[in-house]
């Protein structure tokens, strides 16, 4: 069979879809991997997986309808030439415009996966701005048109279909819950901490976005530092300028200058950083199912995260970490202080994280379910 996988950033294909692509290729399927943001080196990485790298135009952060219509038309022509059996799109814009392109090209099987509902569907402490409300209304309108045309619509968590389909009365032919995209556990080796040595080190990994809880994290760190000044905090990630909730460069510069956190920026050896810290923290406002948390769990670290869609899929409260109320730096600080005052819980809860990762987030198991959802 010929299968088109339609994403955006090239890294998401060779970084997060590698196991899926390899599994499909192993089954003798021909995989065309489409990316709209790439370098030649990244295209080669996709090729190494056994897929045929393809490029197309789509501005994932843009709001130009004419540009999107033109891009959809050109994409449909390319897809029609390939004449695949299945088009599988993931992320919001590829799902919308990839589905339209696939339908224009008369592809028999169209599958879409929404890995999260995104910024417009994420509650903000001060409410959504007028601009965001307008964008959200447009997005809902497009979903009303597109989602009923998808043969199988996949979500990562059970909250998202409720908050999108039921709330806005959007029809869908068939809905599936995948439960996280998973990861290759062999690449994230379990590394328990034999001896806890102070200072206790806390780690955040994610794009520097407001809805990732960066501001709440910084406020919580300041609370902890007043009581335990030796506590150590690392933030890994970059500003995503195309995202409406991106941290400003001036805010990042101020954070670095404050010396309350260690900020090495973007790194490639994420698992080494996780292994060198005691506790993983993600105070996000909403997720699909966060991959960074799954990585920390596989390596054997306790998790502090918010009790919101996606994040709550990763923590059994009080077992492998803690769920805290969103937008609440004080509650976040209290749980970080708990680990400082009860360091013996770090390995205990980290072991539970590891067990949970084995049960829920093994890429082999997840990809078998996903391939089944693709009808293969």
Output the domain CATH number for residue 103. Answer: 3.40.50.2000
Same domain flag for 329 and 189: yes
d(CA 81, CA 74): 11
| Mean pLDDT confidence for 66-95 | 95
Same domain flag for 97 and 193: no
Start-to-end C-alpha separation, the chain = 9
How much is the mean pLDDT over the chain?
A: 94
- Side-chain-facing half-sphere of 183: CA atoms under 13 Å: 22
Same domain flag for 168 and 72: yes
Which conformational region is residue 336 in: left (phi greater than 0), alpha (psi within -120 to 50 degrees), or beta? alpha
279-282, strands of its sheet edge to edge: 262-265, 232-236, 201-205, 279-282, 303-306, 321-324
In tens, the pLDDT along 119-173 reads 899 999 999 999 999 999 999 999 999 999 999 999 999 999 999 999 999 999 9
d(CA 160, CA 166): 9
What does the CA dihedral 117, 118, 121, 125 come to, rounded to 10 degrees? 140
What share of the chain has pLDDT > 70, as a percent?
97
d(CA 355, CA 360): 9
What Rg do the C-alpha atoms of the chain give, in angstroms?
A: 21
Res 280: pLDDT: 98
Cβ(82)–Cβ(57) under 8 Å?
A: no
**Which structural domain, as residue segments, surrounds residue 304?**
185-360
Res 62: pLDDT: 62
- pLDDT of 336 > 80? The answer is yes
Same domain flag for 292 and 329: yes
Same domain flag for 170 and 238: no
Count the domains in the chain: 2
- pLDDT of 59 > 80? The answer is no
Same domain flag for 345 and 212: yes
Same domain flag for 229 and 344: yes
Same domain flag for 351 and 369: no
pLDDT band at 300 (very low <50, low <70, confident <90, very high): very high
Same domain flag for 119 and 236: no
Res 273: pLDDT: 97
Same domain flag for 19 and 146: yes
Res 12: pLDDT: 93
Same domain flag for 124 and 78: yes
Same domain flag for 247 and 348: yes
**H or E element at residue 305:** strand 303-306
């Amino acid at each position: 069979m010929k299968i088109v996988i339609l994403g955006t950033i090239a890294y998401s294909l060779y970084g997060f879809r590698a196991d899926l692509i390899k599994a499909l290729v192993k089954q003798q399927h021909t995989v065309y991997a489409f990316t709209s943001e790439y370098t030649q080196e990244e295209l080669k990485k996709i090729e190494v997986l056994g897929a045929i790298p393809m490029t197309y135009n789509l501005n994932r952060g843009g709001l130009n309808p004419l540009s999107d219509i033109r891009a959809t038309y050109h994409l449909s022509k390319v897809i029609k030439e390939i004449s695949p059996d299945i088009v599988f799109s993931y992320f919001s814009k590829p799902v919308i415009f990839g589905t339209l392109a696939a339908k224009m090209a008369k592809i028999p099987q169209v599958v879409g996966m929404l890995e999260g509902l995104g910024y417009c569907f994420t509650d903000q402490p001060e409410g959504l701005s007028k601009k965001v409300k307008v964008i959200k209304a447009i997005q809902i309108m497009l979903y009303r048109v597109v989602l009923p045309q998808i043969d199988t619509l996949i979500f990562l968590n059970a909250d998202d279909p409720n908050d999108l389909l039921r709330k806005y009365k959007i029809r869908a032919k068939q809905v599936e819950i995948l439960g996280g995209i998973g990861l290759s556990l062999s690449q994230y080796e379990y590394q328990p901490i034999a001896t806890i040595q102070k200072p206790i080190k806390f780690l955040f990994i994610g794009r520097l976005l407001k809805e990732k809880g960066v501001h709440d994290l910084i406020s919580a760190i300041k609370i902890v530092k007043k009581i335990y000044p030796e506590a150590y905090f690392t933030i890994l990630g970059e500003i995503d300028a195309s995202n409406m909730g991106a941290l400003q460069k001036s805010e990042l510069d101020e954070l670095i200058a404050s010396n309350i956190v260690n900020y090495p920026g973007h790194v490639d050896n994420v698992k080494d950083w996780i292994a060198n810290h005691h506790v993983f923290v993600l105070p996000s406002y909403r997720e699909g199912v966060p991959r960074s948390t799954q990585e920390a769990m596989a390596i054997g670290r306790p998790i502090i995260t918010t009790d919101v869609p996606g994040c709550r899929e990763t923590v059994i409260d009080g077992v492998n970490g803690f769920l805290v109320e969103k937008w609440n730096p004080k509650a976040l600080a209290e749980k970080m202080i708990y680990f400082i005052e009860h360091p013996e819980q770090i390995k205990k809860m980290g072991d539970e994280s590891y067990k949970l990762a084995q049960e829920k987030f093994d890429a082999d198991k997840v990809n078998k379910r996903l391939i089944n959802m693709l009808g293969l």
